[in-house]
């Protein structure tokens, strides 16, 4: 489903005139199959987030090709990239990234609004997902009135609302306690099974990594497949 | 994103920062209201002066100056293109006296062509037009000119005639200014009609209007009393032409000038005045625009702050798939909204200020001049025509959108990764 070839990226750091090129990704090639949960692990600063940002189109790679379902997304401009994200990707972030001014309901609804879906259909889909993630009770609350676990469920619901084939998750349980972490991981696994959604999960936590079908390790700017894992 | 959802989105943001947005709208309102009220003075004064210039004449009127205007010449004028009517009012240029039931007056006789008069403005209030010799129409204030020479009223003012006019007969006599005595002969005249009041209520029409049938009699009396009289001196012609509409006044005037007539029409003067006021109004609008530009700094500030404050939210929006174009549009709509609301309030406010100014300023001016009679002071200080409202709205909303442009551009340039990294 996702095919990456010779992906390289480096950052310029330091003062202007004295800047230094720091290579972060050094010619990665890998692929991710449809319906997989893939986790990418690695030490802090190894470039995991950078890889995800490039896959998601937030960042343009220096060189390399990304193809998703045979569409070359690495050549998209900003507008094309945004349009593609809206239709094909969902995102789960470590610090949830909910809109503070919107209620739970409105947060989940937002991607549908951006897609121009009619209000009636929106309401129905949001209710469905509220039920799925178990937040029907708090739908009119604001994010800062919820626990971390609840907030992450809101962001999962928001990621699911457009029925994307791929969901990217950057440290999805990084801000949660271990019990809540388990809840969220179970939710991800069941969504993967019931809906066939492909998950790309970035983590530095082995228990999280082990929920995946496949683990990649980032090391020294390179990605090494760490073998299959079948925790459950 | 649907337009309705975009509007909802913008309104939600505005509601979150009520005070700041309110202050910005206030500034925009003040700037725009300043522009409208300032320029409205230009419109008001122009209107007042124009009214003043046109108070005694029709705008299509063209004065024709010529020593000898004989009947064929007048007929010739009527045949010209775009001429609606040619009124030749001939007045008697000697001393005149009227007498009626013991009252006497000095109203002057006007000989005219009622057919032509009727094409322009002349109309009767009562009665009919003269059909026979010795029949006349009198002005609406004719009776005010008839005074009882023997009596004074309680205040020491002369007593004027207040009886019936229609069907009454009065005598008309005249004589030379240099003699004390008038000519012996009297012409008996019968009032068959009363003219309509002039449109301006301070104009008192006391004239006697007769048709050409009275002229031979007047001439004959004149000749029999004055030795080596020049009959041409007796009647003084006042010829006025009327164009069929305003646009043709100029062409009619030009054609007359080419044919050697000496003419005057107010349209040249109005044209000059309009140019002057156009420049004045443009100047006032320019000054008012500066006020709006000052207000636009506030809009720029507010929008820049809004973008900065919402950096993370904009990042999230972009991350989940909002296009840069949409982000830009949402922010432009927000600044346009400030402009539109500010303009709307400003329009309402300006009409209020204009109304109050027109109500109060005449009183203030009158008391400053120590004048008691307010009726005679018919000055309009401020007029807000729809064109001014349109111009002000366009300027104000455009300026609001221009000042929101840079902040909106800034919002589209926000880097998703940087924005998501911001602490909550
Ligand atoms: N915008 C940037 N400018 C310069 N250097 C950057 C930038 N973004 C990331 N880097 C550098 O690139 C490297 C990889 O960063 P990245 O955030 O991808 O690491 P990570 O694996 O996600 O780490 P963590 O587990 O701590 O999130 C780091 O050394 C970081 O300093
Ligand atoms: Mg990271």
CATH class of A2-7+24-46+55-226: alpha beta
pLDDT band for position B376 (cuts 50, 70, 90):
low
Please give the residue of chain B at the shortest CA–CA distance from A89: B320
Q: pLDDT value at position B232?
A: 66
Assess contact for B264 and B241: CB atoms under 8 A: no
Asked if the structure places residue B257 within a domain, the reply is no
pLDDT band for position B374 (cuts 50, 70, 90):
low
Mean per-residue pLDDT for B33-62?
86
CA distances from A164 to A125, A189, B165 (A): 14, 16, 98
Q: pLDDT value at position A86?
A: 95
Assess contact for B225 and B68: CB atoms under 8 A: no
Strand order, beta sheet including A89-93: A89-93, A166-170, A198-202, A37-42, A214-219, A222-228
Mean per-residue pLDDT for B262-285?
88
Rounded percentage of chain B residues whose pLDDT exceeds 70: 96
B37 and B65, same domain (yes or no): no
Q: Which of B226, B244, B262 is the last residue of a domain?
A: B244
Chain A residues whose beta carbon lies within 8 Å of the beta carbon of residue B5: 113, 116
Best of A28, A46, A168, A217 to mutate for ligand 1, by most ligand atoms within 8 A of CB? A46
Q: Which of A58, A85, A87 sits opposite B417 (nearest CB)?
A: A58
Chain segment B177-203, per-residue pLDDT in tens: 888 888 888 899 999 999 998 877 778
B281 and B225, same domain (yes or no): no
Q: Which of B195, B227, B244 is the last residue of a domain?
A: B244
Using the predicted structure, report yes or no on whether residue A206 has a pLDDT greater than 70: yes
**B→A interface, C-beta within 8 Å:** 1-2, 5, 9, 12-13, 16, 312-313, 315-326, 416-417, 420, 424
- The dihedral built from the CA positions of residue A182, A183, A187 and A193, taken in this order, carries a sign that is positive
Residues with CB under 6 A from ligand 1: A 11, 13, 24, 42, 44-50, 204
Domain count, chain B: 2
| Token reading at B343 | 């303009």
Asked if the structure places residue B253 within a domain, the reply is no
Chain segment A186-201, per-residue pLDDT in tens: 999 999 999 999 999 9
B72 and B208, same domain (yes or no): yes
Chain segment A145-160, per-residue pLDDT in tens: 999 999 999 999 999 9
Beta bridge partners, A5, equal A65
Q: pLDDT value at position B375?
A: 53
Q: How far apart are the first and last CA of chain A?
A: 23
B43 and B68, same domain (yes or no): no
In the block, residue with structure tokens 């005595």: B181
Rounded percentage of chain A residues whose pLDDT exceeds 90: 78
B195 and B168, same domain (yes or no): yes
B217 and B130, same domain (yes or no): yes
Using the predicted structure, report yes or no on whether residue A232 has a pLDDT greater than 70: no
B386 and B323, same domain (yes or no): yes
Mean per-residue pLDDT for B52-77?
79
pLDDT band for position B35 (cuts 50, 70, 90):
very high
pLDDT band for position A227 (cuts 50, 70, 90):
low
pLDDT band for position B413 (cuts 50, 70, 90):
very high
Interface residue of A11, A111, A113 to substitute, partner B, most B CBs within 10 Å? A113
B42 and B136, same domain (yes or no): no
B9 and B73, same domain (yes or no): no
| Token reading at B135 | 């029949």
Distance from C-alpha of A228 to C-alpha of A217, rounded to nearest angstrom: 12
Using the predicted structure, report yes or no on whether residue B371 has a pLDDT greater than 70: no
Mean pLDDT of chain A: 91
Q: Residue A82 and residue B322: Cβ atoms within 8 Å?
A: yes
Sequence-separated (6 or more) residues with CB below 8 Å from residue B271: none
Q: pLDDT value at position B416?
A: 93
Range of the domain at B390: 3-56+273-421
Q: pLDDT value at position B220?
A: 87
Q: pLDDT value at position A51?
A: 94
Chain segment A28-65, per-residue pLDDT in tens: 999 999 999 999 999 888 999 999 999 999 999 999 99
On whether the pTM is more than 0.90, the answer is: no
Using the predicted structure, report yes or no on whether residue A5 has a pLDDT greater than 90: yes
Interface residue of A9, A82, A151 to substitute, partner B, most B CBs within 10 Å? A82
- What ipTM does the predicted assembly reach? 0.93
B138 and B282, same domain (yes or no): no
B130 and B15, same domain (yes or no): no
| Token reading at A96 | 């949830």
Using the predicted structure, report yes or no on whether residue B40 has a pLDDT greater than 70: yes
Assess contact for A135 and A127: CB atoms under 8 A: no
B9 and B105, same domain (yes or no): no
Using the predicted structure, report yes or no on whether residue B123 has a pLDDT greater than 80: yes
Chain segment A113-141, per-residue pLDDT in tens: 999 999 999 999 999 999 999 999 999 99
Nearest to B116 by CA among B74, B159, B148, B73: B74
Using the predicted structure, report yes or no on whether residue B72 has a pLDDT greater than 90: no
Q: Which helix (H) or strand (E) holds B303?
A: helix B266-309
Asked if the structure places residue B250 within a domain, the reply is no
Using the predicted structure, report yes or no on whether residue A231 has a pLDDT greater than 60: no
Using the predicted structure, report yes or no on whether residue A77 has a pLDDT greater than 90: yes
Q: Domain ranges in chain A?
A: 2-7+24-46+55-226
Distance from C-alpha of B121 to C-alpha of B199, rounded to nearest angstrom: 10
Strand, helix or coil for residue B279? helix
B423 or A58: whose pLDDT is higher? A58
């Amino acid at each position: 489903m996702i095919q990456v070839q010779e992906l390289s990226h480096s950052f310029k750091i330091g003062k202007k005139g004295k800047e230094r090129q720091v290579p972060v990704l050094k010619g990665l090639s890998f692929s991710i199959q449809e319906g997989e949960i893939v986790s990418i692990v690695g030490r802090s600063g190894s470039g995991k987030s950078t890889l995800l940002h490039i896959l998601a189109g937030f960042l343009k790679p220096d060189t390399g090709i990304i193809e998703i379902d045979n569409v070359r997304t690495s050549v998209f401009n900003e507008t094309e990239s945004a349009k593609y994200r809206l239709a094909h990707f969902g995102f789960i972030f470590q610090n949830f990234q909910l809109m503070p001014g919107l209620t739970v309901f409105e947060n989940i609804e937002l991607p549908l609004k951006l897609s121009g879906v009619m209000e009636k259909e929106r309401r129905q889909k949001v209710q469905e997902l509220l039920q799925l993630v178990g937040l029907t009770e708090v739908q009119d609350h604001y994010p800062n009135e919820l626990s971390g676990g609840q907030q992450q469920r809101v962001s999962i619901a928001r990621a699911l609302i457009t029925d994307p084939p791929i969901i990217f998750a950057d440290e999805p349980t990084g801000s949660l306690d271990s019990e809540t972490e388990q809840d969220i991981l179970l939710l991800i696994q069941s969504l993967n099974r019931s809906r066939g959604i492909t998950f790309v999960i970035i983590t530095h936590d082995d228990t999280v990594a082990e929920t995946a079908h496949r683990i990649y390790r980032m090391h020294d700017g390179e990605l090494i497949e760490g073998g299959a894992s079948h925790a459950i | 994103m649907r337009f309705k959802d975009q509007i909802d989105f913008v309104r939600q943001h505005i509601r979150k920062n009520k005070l700041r947005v309110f202050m910005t709208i206030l500034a925009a309102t003040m700037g725009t209201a300043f522009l409208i009220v300032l320029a409205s003075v230009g419109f008001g004064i122009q209107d007042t002066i124009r009214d003043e210039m046109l108070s005694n004449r029709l705008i299509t009127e063209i004065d024709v100056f010529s020593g000898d205007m004989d009947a064929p010449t007048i007929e010739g004028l009527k045949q010209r293109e775009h001429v609606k009517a040619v009124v030749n009012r001939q007045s008697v240029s000697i001393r005149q006296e009227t007498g009626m039931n013991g009252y006497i007056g000095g109203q002057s006789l006007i000989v005219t062509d009622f057919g032509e008069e009727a094409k322009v403005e002349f109309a009767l209030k009562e009665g009919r037009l003269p059909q026979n010799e010795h029949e006349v129409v009198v002005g609406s204030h004719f009776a005010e000119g008839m005074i009882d020479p023997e009596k004074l009223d309680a205040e020491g003012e002369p007593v004027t005639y207040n009886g019936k006019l229609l069907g009454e007969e009065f005598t008309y006599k005249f004589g030379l200014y240099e003699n004390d005595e008038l000519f012996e002969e009297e012409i008996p005249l019968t009032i068959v009609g009363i003219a309509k009041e002039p449109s301006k209520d301070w104009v008192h029409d006391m004239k006697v209007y007769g048709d050409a049938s009275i002229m031979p009699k007047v001439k004959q009396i004149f000749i029999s009393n004055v030795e080596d009289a020049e009959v041409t001196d007796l009647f003084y012609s006042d010829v006025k032409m009327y164009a069929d509409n305003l646009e043709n006044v100029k062409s009619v005037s030009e054609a007359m000038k080419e044919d050697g007539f000496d003419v005057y029409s107010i349209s040249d003067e109005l044209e000059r005045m309009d140019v002057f006021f156009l420049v004045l109004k443009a100047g006032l609008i320019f000054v008012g625009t500066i006020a709006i530009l000052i207000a636009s700094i506030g809009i720029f500030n507010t929008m820049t702050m809004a973008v900065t404050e919402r950096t993370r939210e904009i990042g999230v929006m972009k991350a989940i798939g909002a296009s840069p174009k949409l982000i830009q549009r949402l922010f432009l709509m927000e600044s346009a909204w400030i402009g539109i609301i500010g303009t709307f309030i400003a329009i309402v406010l300006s009409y209020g200020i204009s109304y109050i100014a027109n109500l109060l300023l005449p009183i203030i001016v009158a008391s400053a001049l120590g004048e008691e009679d307010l009726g005679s002071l018919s000055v309009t200080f401020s007029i807000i025509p729809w064109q001014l409202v349109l111009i002000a709205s366009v300027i104000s909303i455009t300026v609001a959108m221009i000042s929101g442009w840079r902040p909106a551009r800034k919002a589209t340039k926000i880097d998703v990764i940087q924005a998501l990294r911001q602490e909550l």
